[in-house]
A and B are shown apart, each in its own frame.
Chain A
């Protein structure tokens, strides 16, 4: 059975019937329908409730500018809120629901708001919910959110994929209406690379919605023919269902292509949507125009629509919103809708034209000089009340009212950089103005060329201009060229509850109130009333608001100016902006060479930057991480432990001037470091603050290997390139990052030498005499495998770091474990590593926190005064060298069971506890299995001379009540003389 409001003709495929549901009720439609057109065909006008007053609403438009018909699509994890029914393509099985109503669309409890509209005027929330501040979060906001909401989220992960892609072209054409198609034919025939993007699933723009003829055929047929010709051109790429959302720098455009939105689920291997970055030489904006409404009382009832949208439903979708339709217009275009309705057999109740000299008609009544002053109908318009030219009233019965207040060019993308639309008096509309994005030309209705001929001509001309095409202009197809005049008519005299912004429920009364309260700037009006701030960015509402504001201020519209549009052109899903960068693919995951071995050992991993590092290696029976970590520390200190430290940054520095280069980078001296020796180095920022620390090993006269902390590897490399290229351009020095090239393991503990002796080749002598503390060298292991050995220690034990080419890392780790069995070798993770470095008093990221100097770190004397290095001069500033400067200290709880909290604040043993009396703070804390209590590192005012003092540790951010007595001790808890290191 054909639905009640389905007409003949249209661009729908009647051979296929699609069933779909809206609020649980089943309906049918056809391929080519949108959800809105199919619902209208089924005589459903009511599709939603408004944001603030919960008033019943139906579609106002037939396109992406729709403010009202906002629905929820699909169910389960694919549930998608806030979708415009006017652009949602119908598919079989589509399940749609209305939003912002309870318990049902027809009976919505919150529509009580509409009764209290006198209180809910502009600025209501600002004025009412001011005090007390704490109520905002707990009381007001949840209530407001519940009452004034949009759709709801599924709270499940989106099961679909989203992609990103890159495309290049000589000419990007945005919009495939008459101007865009004419431009594409001209550009395509020239052989240049052309991309045509259109948000609709059917290219042709208004040609599909009109009954005009182009080249003696129906406009829609001409468009289909043009699309067919363009599809056959290898140099032209047509992108339907693609919205250009933003114009960015240097000819780069963002575009969202909806690959699978029109299907129940994406086909296997296909994404739901793709975000394209289009690099264009030139761009033609052929975005068309949007019809604007006229404001009158109760102009928001379902069935009251823009006149050209009614025409689009009737002509393109063969769906009429009602069997009896009236038209309210201030221009000739509104009469077209009446003619098309009549031709399709829909009863035209009357054409109400504000102009005294309105054109007449034979087939229906035209009321010149008349206005719609009010409407009736609870869930949809049933009557309109008129004020006639002679001042008398009249009531007309109708199920829909088409309203036309003229057209506004779609200038949106012209504003994305510095464009400021300009007022065109003849069109009574803003047209593109100011500085357009470089390379952009605007054509067709978007530039004010409203006739079909004007659009075809301006499209072709613009394409020729953009591509610099020579020769005779191509012949254009015949098309209507009716002159367009628009006289402003924004609202009906005396109206108040007349909607300007239907999505945000802003009325004429609100704009007047905001003026009355002193909001004079258009930007203030916008923010105070929220006019134009909904998801439609005010495409149908801004103009009316501006016009009323100008009138109240006694100014002309161009004097008031306009707000500008920002990307995106239409609401864009966060998912497509994220693309594939979700979950674990948010950033790359870097695995250490021993990762798979560690996985076999059951390691627990931790993210360190992009790296996954083994945090600890639980053994059977260990139920708490502390058990594993304590065991790893004790085993390493008692015999030998192995830890993968590949993640530390490694930078190869080569060249005749390598030593001079490092001498400039590190605050301590490197010029005289002997070949075969390693030195600890501290890098400062130019402002004198510590940046990073590490070691530099001199493998040859002109070859160093620099290590950085894991976290700063990239940053330090960048800094080194800056010094090399910008400060020391004449130096003979080259850098390369080799972090991934070498697998590096720390082998630590009293038996570390014995273990390594089992794997180094026989000719390699690593005895204490031949290879003392801080030695380094190129060696071979396991029978000829090249390796680097460094005798450095982070743990404080006798220790080495051994590096082999990364592909041998896994094998070396397994060999170390096998050979180490006799010493009970223990793999340890980052937690044990951290515990041991705190026990040893080594600074790490917590101490090198961007606020501390060499002096604070207890390394003040390391800063060489005999040379210039980065940061050395500014580290001498008096402010960084005051007598009571913070100094790194060790801390132990007086009562050994007490806890030390990193981030805690140190206070004197007596006296007030407040910020003014802070003595310092704790940077690192851990349980030390070696000492049997918690220990901490921290910075303390004048800490160098306060050893033995008792302080109070407070942590007001975590617990106001806890105070712990701590004792100031040396930061070197273990082996303060360094005897183990040198053993």
Chain B
């Protein structure tokens, strides 16, 4: 696969480490979260046949974590964002 890095352009996926769903960015609020919220965050994962937002760590590159929107059936990548920037702007 080729991931179009927002800063570095198209890079081979071999340079990246897959970190899992982008939902991992939504860590429960420790002050208000219930045990169920923590359980869901730690253990429950969607397994969609289709669009999936996921984190890729540019281990062999600039160490950015990217949010990649990828179709799990075709591997087509429709969007790539920097996790840090996306998160800070949210």
Contact = CB atoms under 8 A, between A and B. Distances in A.
Those 8 A-B pairs whose CB atoms lie nearest each other, nearest first: A868-B30, A729-B87, A725-B84, A729-B88, A250-B2, A249-B1, A726-B25, A249-B75
Contact of B42 (A250, A724, A727, A874): A874
Nearest to B77: A250
A418 B73 CA distance: 9
A873 interface: yes
A600 interface: no
Nearest to A869: B30
Contacts of B73: 418
B83 A873 contact: no
B19 interface: yes
B74 A722 contact: no
Residue picked from A249, A251, A868, most chain B C-beta under 10 Å: A249
Interface of A: 249-252, 279, 417-418, 435, 438, 686-687, 714, 718, 721-722, 724-727, 729-730, 868, 872-874, 877
A722 B57 contact: yes
Contacts of A725: 64-65, 83-84, 87
Contacts of A438: 74, 76
Given A729-B83, A873-B33, 6 more contacts: A249-B75, A718-B19, A722-B24, A729-B87, A872-B30, A874-B38
Given A686-B41, A726-B25, A718 B33 contact: no
Contact of B65 (A252, A721, A874): A721
B44 to A, nearest CB: 12
Contacts of B59: 714, 718
Given A250-B75, A874-B38, A727 B25 contact: yes
Interface residue tally on B, bucketed by range: 20 to 34
B55 A726 contact: yes
Residue picked from A250, A435, A877, most chain B C-beta under 10 Å: A250
Nearest to B67: A726
B38 A718 contact: no
A508 to B, nearest CB: 38
B5 to A, nearest CB: 14
A271 B24 CA distance: 45
20 contacts: A249-B75, A250-B2, A250-B75, A279-B2, A418-B73, A687-B43, A718-B17, A718-B19, A718-B59, A721-B57, A721-B63, A721-B65, A722-B19, A722-B24, A722-B55, A724-B84, A726-B24, A726-B25, A729-B88, A873-B30
A730 B19 contact: no
A357 B24 CA distance: 71
B27 interface: yes
Nearest to B84: A725
A252 B77 CA distance: 15
Interface string B56-82: 010100011100000001111100000
Contacts of A872: 30
Contacts of B24: 722, 726
Residue picked from A249, A252, A279, A725, most chain B C-beta under 10 Å: A725
Interface in B1-33: 1-2, 17, 19, 24-25, 27-28, 30, 33
Contacts of B63: 721
A627 to B, nearest CB: 43
A687 B39 CA distance: 8
A140 B2 CA distance: 47
Contact of A252 (B2, B43, B55): B2
Contacts of A868: 30
Given A250-B1, A726-B55, A727-B25, A418 B74 contact: yes
Contacts of A722: 19, 24, 55, 57, 65
Contacts of B55: 722, 726
Contacts of A686: 27, 41-42
A871 to B, nearest CB: 9
A873 B38 contact: yes
A807 B88 CA distance: 39
A438 B74 CA distance: 9
A477 to B, nearest CB: 38
B73 to A, nearest CB: 8
B16 to A, nearest CB: 11
A868 B55 CA distance: 24
A254 to B, nearest CB: 13
Contacts of A724: 84
Nearest to B29: A868
A868 B25 CA distance: 16
Nearest to A867: B30
A252 B42 CA distance: 35
A718 B56 CA distance: 11
B87 A726 contact: yes
A725 B62 CA distance: 13
B43 A729 contact: no
B84 A729 contact: yes
A34 to B, nearest CB: 36
B42 A687 contact: yes
Contacts of A718: 17, 19, 57, 59
A877 B36 CA distance: 11
Contacts of A279: 2
Contacts of B2: 249-252, 279
A722 B59 CA distance: 12
A849 to B, nearest CB: 19
A252 B1 CA distance: 8
Nearest to A279: B2
A250 B83 CA distance: 23
A877 B38 CA distance: 10
A640 to B, nearest CB: 39
A721 B61 CA distance: 13
Residue picked from B19, B42, B76, most chain A C-beta under 10 Å: B42
A279 B10 CA distance: 11
A251 B76 CA distance: 11
A495 to B, nearest CB: 43
B39 to A, nearest CB: 8
Nearest to A877: B35
A726 B22 CA distance: 9
B38 A726 contact: no
Contacts of B41: 686
A721 B19 CA distance: 11
A164 to B, nearest CB: 11
Residue picked from B57, B59, B77, most chain A C-beta under 10 Å: B57
Nearest to B55: A726
Nearest to A724: B84
Nearest to A735: B63
A191 to B, nearest CB: 22
A883 B48 CA distance: 40
Contacts of A250: 1-2, 75, 77
B85 to A, nearest CB: 8
A850 to B, nearest CB: 15
Contacts of A726: 24-25, 55, 65, 83-84, 87
A686 to B, nearest CB: 5
A822 B1 CA distance: 61
B1 A727 contact: no
B62 to A, nearest CB: 11
A286 to B, nearest CB: 24
A687 B24 CA distance: 13
Nearest to B59: A718
A438 B73 CA distance: 13
Contacts of B28: 873
Residue picked from A714, A718, A729, most chain B C-beta under 10 Å: A729
A417 B76 CA distance: 12
Contacts of A721: 57, 63, 65
Contacts of B25: 726-727
A916 to B, nearest CB: 27
A868 B31 CA distance: 9
Contacts of B38: 873-874
A717 B52 CA distance: 25
A438 B2 CA distance: 13
Nearest to B41: A686
